Chain A
Amino acid sequence: MSKFSKKRGASTPEISTASLPDIIFMLLFFFMVVTVMKESTLKVQVSVPNATELEKLERKSLVHHIYIGKPTAQYQQQYGTAPRMQLNDQFAVIDDIPLFLEQEKLKVNEKERDFLTTSLRVDKEATMGIVSDVKTKLRKSNQLKINYSARLRTGDL
């Protein structure tokens, strides 16, 4: 009769979820860009101390890290609980430092070798014995620019 008839069996239209992945992809790309991959897995536990006179490490490509702390639980049987040093991915002893520094120097070109910085990530409970030995070795290898890693301290002493 009438040309206009109600659609039969009209249900509420389904919410289209086709755009949901787009939103997720946007978030994903954001995180992919922001992520800084850890260069090495820590085999020692390092909880850096707090300090106020902090400076940002510029030029991360010119920074190499030395980690000092107690070995993590899975390595404690082998290596004990005294603080140890880790260079890149391996446990190391003081005498491995000059070779490590040479390898780092080879990664940068001549002009930038003077700007190489050693970042010392030392656990707050490590003792000064091993840290002093590392610093002496660095001085003997003429690696004088160092940076003691620390977090920002907010309260008073």
Chain B
Amino acid sequence: MAKKRREAPAINASSMADIAFLLLIFFLVTTTIDVDKGIRVKLPPWSDDEPDPLRLKTRNVFSVLVNANNELLVRGEPMEKADLRDKAKEFIMNPQGLEDLSESPINAIISLKNDRGTEYETYLTVYNELKAAYNEIWNEQSQLKFGKEYADLDFEAQKKIRAEVPLVISEAEPTDFGEE
């Protein structure tokens, strides 16, 4: 009797694809697109002493107040968030040498005061605009002096520009007028 030649049966590989799909879908679902960018801030060190009553000239202080209704009061006048960046730049650099704007970028101080009821989104937008004002000034300065963007400069050059136009945003304790 002739032995039947047994062919090794071919393994059906189609179900391996199913297993792989399952694992793939698992990873697709668990991948989170993490938000890992943000505005970097260096907080001032804490001191228990009261800040000494600021002996600063009013012309050197750019006060920004935000109330619980997310409205801005800049140097006593209401202002829209969209205008904040340009006004802040004008204050810091004072290109026309006006009497009521800062004496020089080194003396310019931006003071920011919120209410406990201010929305975080408004606070961050305001802070973003102020930081953007400084970033734009630094870019303009770096173009003038070095012909390059601020971000393309090396660390020492960036320090020099920051020494001429220091970022001084002083944040005060929030007021407690609005609803938290």
Contacts and interface: CB of A to CB of B under 8 A. Distances in A.
Contacts of B20: 21, 24-25, 28
Interface of B: 13-14, 16-17, 19-21, 23-24, 27-28, 30-32, 34-46, 80-82, 114-121, 123-125, 127-129, 131-132, 135, 173-174, 180
A136 B44 CA distance: 10
A27 B19 CA distance: 13
B95 to A, nearest CB: 22
Secondary structure dominating the interface of A: mixed
Most chain B beta-carbon contacts within 10 A, residue among A37, A49, A55, A146: A49
A52 B32 CA distance: 22
A144 B41 CA distance: 8
| Interface range for A | 35 or more
Contact of A148 (B82, B127, B180): B127
B123 to A, nearest CB: 6
A123 to B, nearest CB: 7
B131 to A, nearest CB: 4
Contacts, number: 165
B82 A157 contact: yes
A142 B131 contact: no
Contacts of B180: 127, 129-130
Nearest to A21: B16
A56 interface: yes
A23 B174 CA distance: 58
A60 B37 CA distance: 11
Contact of B118 (A48, A128, A140): A128
Interface of A: 16-18, 20-21, 24-25, 27-28, 31-32, 34-38, 48-57, 60, 68, 117, 119-132, 135-136, 138-140, 142-152, 156-157
Contact of A55 (B24, B31, B39): B39
Contacts of A18: 13
Nearest to A36: B34
A130 B115 CA distance: 11
Contacts of B82: 156-157
A151 B40 CA distance: 13
A35 B24 CA distance: 11
Contact of B131 (A16, A53, A151): A53
A84 B28 CA distance: 30
A49 B121 contact: yes
A142 B17 contact: no
A142 B14 contact: no
A60 B35 CA distance: 12
Contact of A28 (B27, B81, B114): B27
